């Protein structure tokens, strides 16, 4: 089964904007400012979200090692989808 994600984000400020994943090339980051346009891309989904995965995995492991409960419940996950 093919899983697809839309994780586009746009941040608009007084001196420009940042567009992440809004183009057909989902891994593209576009910086727009008075100085021009800069386009960059990452190597893929895991590269883009590496630190987030590491943070979540570390927090999960700490809960196990310290016999603590997670901060979320199953109902929270179901409600978020």
Please indicate, yes or no, whether residues 6 and 38 belong to a single structural domain of this protein. Answer: yes
What does the pLDDT read at residue 75?
A: 82
Predicted local distance difference test score (pLDDT) of residue 66: 95
Compute the distance between CA of residue 69 and CA of residue 56 in angstroms, rounded to an integer. Answer: 14
Query: Which residues of the chain fall short of a pLDDT of 70?
Result: 1-6, 23-27, 43-45, 77, 80-81
Are 29 and 66 in a shared domain?
A: no
Domains of the chain: total: 2
> In terms of domains, do 36 and 2 share one?
yes
> Are 61 and 35 found together in one domain?
no
In this structure, the answer to whether residues 25 and 11 fall within a common structural domain is yes
Structural domain of 79: 49-81
Alpha helices in 1-81 (DSSP H): 45-48, 50-65, 74-80
Q: Give dist(CA 40, CA 27) in Å, integer.
A: 8
Q: Does 30 lie in the same domain as 59?
A: no
State the pLDDT at residue 13: 92
User: pLDDT tens across 56-70, in order?
Assistant: 899 999 999 999 988
**34 and 15: one domain?**
yes
């Amino acid at each position: 089964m093919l899983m697809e994600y839309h994780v586009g984000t746009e941040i608009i400020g007084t001196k420009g904007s940042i567009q992440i994943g809004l183009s057909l090339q989902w891994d593209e980051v576009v910086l727009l400012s008075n100085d021009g346009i800069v386009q960059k891309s990452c190597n893929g989904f895991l590269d883009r979200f590496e630190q987030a995965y590491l943070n979540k995995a570390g927090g999960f492991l700490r809960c196990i090692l310290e016999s603590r409960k997670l901060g979320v419940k199953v109902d929270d996950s179901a409600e978020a989808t």
